[in-house]
Amino acid sequence: MREIEVFIDTEEIAEFFFNELVKRGYAPKEEELEEIADITFDYLIAKCIIDEELD
């Protein structure tokens, strides 16, 4: 299997969730979006979809 490099930005994830939730009639708070983004990132790591690299 070929390895590719992917960059995951939790701020981008938060923005994505914000836009999608607003489309569905929700009004999420910034704190909630940050938590959702962090949970999503942790999920991707747990499922071995991504590896976390520390700078």
The arithmetic mean of pLDDT across residues 2-22, rounded, is 90
pLDDT > 70 in the chain, percent:
100
Average pLDDT over the chain reads: 90
The arithmetic mean of pLDDT across residues 2-7, rounded, is 81
SS3 of the chain? CCCCCCCCCHHHHHHHHHHHHHHCCCCCCHHHHHHHHHHHHHHHHHCCCCCCCCC
Task: Give dist(CA 24, CA 48) in Å, integer.
Answer: 30
How does residue 28 score in pLDDT terms, banded at 50, 70 and 90? very high
The ranges assigned to domains in the chain are 10-46
